[in-house]
Amino acid sequence: MAKAVSVRGLTKAFGARTVLDGIDLEVQPGEFVALLGRSGCGKSTLLRILAGLDRDVEGTAEVPGTVSIAFQQPRLLPWRKVWKNISLGLHKPDGREVALKALEEVRLTGHADAWPLTLSGGEAQRVSLARALVREPDVLLLDEPFGALDALTRLAMHHLVEDLWARHKPAVLLVTHDVDEALLLADRILVLDEGRIVATHHVDLPRPRRRASVVEQRTRVLADLGVDVEEAA
């Protein structure tokens, strides 16, 4: 089967500073990959390249299918109603119906005709997710979409994302700072450091995962991020 994402020798420099340094990465269709790494290590840069927003690179980054992205900020058009934000760019005659269905999936049915600025942060983020999903992407890029949310909303969003992923089966590349989040959701965890993938963890725990079940592997992932848990705890 064709890969959902295949990246070979990807190098990206801003002036003299090399941000991505020869990345090799393959993602299978339907695979859930989490990307971990310190702030500034190039995670967003990689996602932007995969989304086709930055073509000034060395090496190759191929994403044969359709791509969709949810940014850390929801980036909704404040002057278009919620449903319109979801259906714009789809070019479907039944745009509103499609949008309403997507809103149902993220449990926001009542907000179809709301202005985006009246939504709470979590609601806006869910709209952004609905907007990404409604394109039925082969590859879904999520750049810290839960970063700005409170712990409770985050939990709800984890379930939602896992649920939607299980139903639509896109390949997912999730950028996060949160190791637990990665362990709860991903099939595979990549650790990025100084522009290279320095570690790969396969997470074979059965789903749905509970917090307790991931604790043991958490220590090993954290060690790769340079955090000694025994000491920290």
Q: Which residues contact other proteins (rule: CB under 8 A)?
A: 51-53, 67-69, 71, 73, 75, 77-80, 88-91, 115-118, 131, 135
Asked if residue 208 has a cis previous peptide bond (ω within 30° of 0), the answer is yes
CA distance 198 to 206: 25
DSSP string, 91-124: --TTHHHHHHHHHHHTT-GGGTTS-GGGS-HHHH
Per CB under 6 A, 19 contacts ligand ATP? yes
CB of residue 67 to ligand ATP, shortest distance in Å: 17
Residues 31-90 binding ligand ATP (CB under 6 A) are 37, 39-45
Comparing CB distances to ligand ATP, the nearer of 14 and 204 is 14
Whole-angstrom distance, CA of residue 36 vs CA of residue 99 = 32
Task: Using the minimum distance from each CB to ligand ATP, give the nearer residue, 162 or 194.
Answer: 194
In angstroms, rounded to a whole number, what is the distance separating the alpha carbons of residues 175 and 64? 21
Q: Is residue 44 at the binding interface for Mg ion, with CB under 5 A as the rule? A: yes
- Minimum CB separation from ligand ATP for residue 197, in Å? 13
Is there a contact between 174 and 185 (Cβ–Cβ < 8 Å)? yes
The angle that helices 95-105 and 121-133 make with each other, rounded to 10 degrees, is: 120
Decide whether 64 or 78 has the Cβ nearer to other proteins: 78
Q: Is 170 in the site for ligand ATP (CB under 6 A)?
A: no
Measured from the CB of residue 171, what is the shortest distance to ligand ATP in angstroms? Answer: 20
Residues that bind ligand ATP (CB under 6 A): 14, 19, 37, 39-45
